[in-house]
Amino acid sequence: MIGIIVVKKFSEMKKESGKLNYPKTLNFSYVDKDIELVTRDYIKSLILQNKSQLTINEYSRTIFHFLNFCYLYIGNNISLKDLENFQDTDFLAYQSFYLGKSKKHETLKEEMINNYFTFEDKEPKNISIGHKEFFSHKDNLNLINDIEKKFRGEIFSGKEILNKYGDISRKIEILCLNGCIKKYKEKEKSKRSLARCQSVLRNYFRFLSERNNWKNHSFNQISTTKYDKRISNKTFKEEDLINFLKFIDPDQSKSAKGWNSWQHRRDIAVIYFIYSTGLRVSEVLQFKFSDTPFDDQIKVIGKGKKERYIPILPIIKEKISKYIDVLKASTKIEIVNNDPLFLKINSHDKSSLTARDIQRSMKKLIEIYPGKIPSEATPHSLRHSFASHLLQNGINIRKIQKLLGHESIDTTQIYTNLDDDYLKQEYDKIQN
C-alpha cells in the first residue's frame, strides 16, 4: 500500500498565459463541502502569491495527507467543526503518525487505540505456540471474517476498532502476531521533514482561522520541531568535487566509452552550470537556445518569479558550446530558438530535460565513480557545495545570499556547511 494518501497523483500544473493553473485532480471525497471550498480557496491564494509550482504541489500534498489522517483518526468524513475542535494532543498524534516511528504503550488497549491496521489474510501462515485454540474458536473466526469484510484493502484505526467491537486489543495483538492483521506505519521521516510539514499546516490553519473567525486555535500551541541544519552528508568537499568533475568530463578523462555523446555532453554542461552558479535545477531548465551564447551576466527567474542576476564563468560557456556542437553534429533534428536549451529527444520528438532526468543521470555517474562522494549526493548537492566553497574561500555570506536568491540570511545558513571555525565566525558577524 503506497502511503495513506488516497488522492491521485497531482497533475503537473502547467503555465498558461504566465499564470499557474489550479490543480485539477484533488480528491475531496473524505471531507465535507465546506472544507473543500475553503481548501480550494487556500490553494488559489498560494497561486495568487506567485508561489512556485513545486511549493504549491508540496503544500497540497501535505494538506491532503493530514486530511486523510483525520478521516482515519476520527472515523468518518471530516467537517470544519472537526478541524476547529482539534486539540494539541490530536496534532501530536498526527505528528507521530507522520514520522512513522513506533511508540511503546503500557497496555494493549493503548497499543490498539494508538495504532493503524491493514487486513492481510484470514488464514495465519504459521500459528504461534499457544494460539491454536484461539483460531479454532468459532467467535474468533466470525470476528476475523467480519473484520475482513469491513476493512480489507483499507487502513483502519484502533479507535474505529474500539468503537465497533469494544476492547478486543488482546485479540488484535494475536491477529498481528500471526499475520492476519498488520500494524500500519508511514515511512520514517526526519525532524526536518516534520518541521516543513508543521510549517505548511500552520499556514493552512492560519487561513482557516481567519476565514472562520476561530480564536486561539490549538495548532498555535504546537512548537516547531528543531532539527540539525548542517548538510555535510550532502555537500562535496572542494577537492572531492574537482576530482569527480575530472573523472566524468570527457575533456579531462577517458574513463568510459561514449562520453563524447551529445547526451553526456548535455549532462556535463548541466552539472557545471549548477555548481558554477548555485542555481536550482528548475532554474537551470528555464533557458532556451535563444538565450545562448550567454553574456557574462544573465537574468534568472527564481522562486516567486523573483529576478536576480548571476555571473556566467567561461567554463559554463565552454561546456554548453561543446554540448550544442555535438548535438547538432549528431542529430538531424532541426533546433530552433524556442527549443529548451537542455533537450531530450525520443523518436524525433523534442522535449525539455526534467529534474528527474538530471537526478537519474547524476546517479549513474556517481555509481561508476570510484572516488569519495557525499552519502546523500544529488544534483542539489552541487548548489550546497557552491555556497559552502564560496564561504570557505572568503566570499561574504550576504553576497552568497543574493546569488542563491534567498530572502533570509537564515535560509542561506541552512544551505551551507558551517562546520569550520571560519564559517562560524563569518555567520556570527552577520548575526551580531
What integer pLDDT is reported at residue 418 of this predicted model?
Answer: 46
Tens digits of residue pLDDT in 193-233: 888 888 899 999 999 999 999 988 888 777 666 655 567 78
What integer pLDDT is reported at residue 100 of this predicted model?
Answer: 82
**Buried residues in 281-305 as b, exposed as e (16+ CB within 10 A):** bebbbbbebeeeebeeebebebbee
What integer pLDDT is reported at residue 320 of this predicted model?
Answer: 96
Tens digits of residue pLDDT in 146-200: 888 877 667 888 888 888 889 988 888 888 888 888 888 888 888 778 888 888 9
Going residue by residue through the chain (432 aa), what tens digit of pLDDT does each one get? 223 222 233 233 333 334 445 555 677 888 889 999 999 999 989 888 887 777 888 888 899 889 988 888 887 788 999 999 988 888 888 888 888 876 667 788 888 888 888 888 888 877 877 888 888 889 988 988 888 887 766 788 888 888 888 998 888 888 888 888 888 888 888 877 888 888 899 999 999 999 999 988 888 777 666 655 567 788 888 899 999 999 999 988 766 666 889 999 999 999 999 999 999 999 999 999 999 999 999 999 988 788 999 999 999 999 999 999 999 998 888 889 999 999 999 877 899 999 999 999 999 999 989 899 988 899 999 998 998 888 878 788 888 888 998 877 767 766 544 444 444 454 455 455
What integer pLDDT is reported at residue 7 of this predicted model?
Answer: 28
Indicate if the alpha-carbon torsion angle 36, 37, 43, 46 is positive or negative. negative
CA atoms within 13 A on the CB side of 301: 9
On whether the CB atoms of residues 238 and 346 are closer than 8 A, the answer is: no
CA distance 330 to 43: 45
Residues that are catalytic: 280, 303, 380, 383, 406, 415
**Domain layout of the chain by residue ranges:** 102-184, 232-431
CA distance 70 to 4: 11
Give the pTM.
Answer: 0.52
CA atoms within 13 A on the CB side of 287: 21
On whether the CB atoms of residues 387 and 416 are closer than 8 A, the answer is: yes
232-431 maps to CATH 1.20.140.10: no
Specify the CATH architecture of the domain 102-184. Orthogonal Bundle (1.10)
CA distance 39 to 87: 20
What integer pLDDT is reported at residue 279 of this predicted model?
Answer: 95
**Buried residues in 218-252 as b, exposed as e (16+ CB within 10 A):** bbeebeebeeeeebeebbbbeebbebbbebbbbee
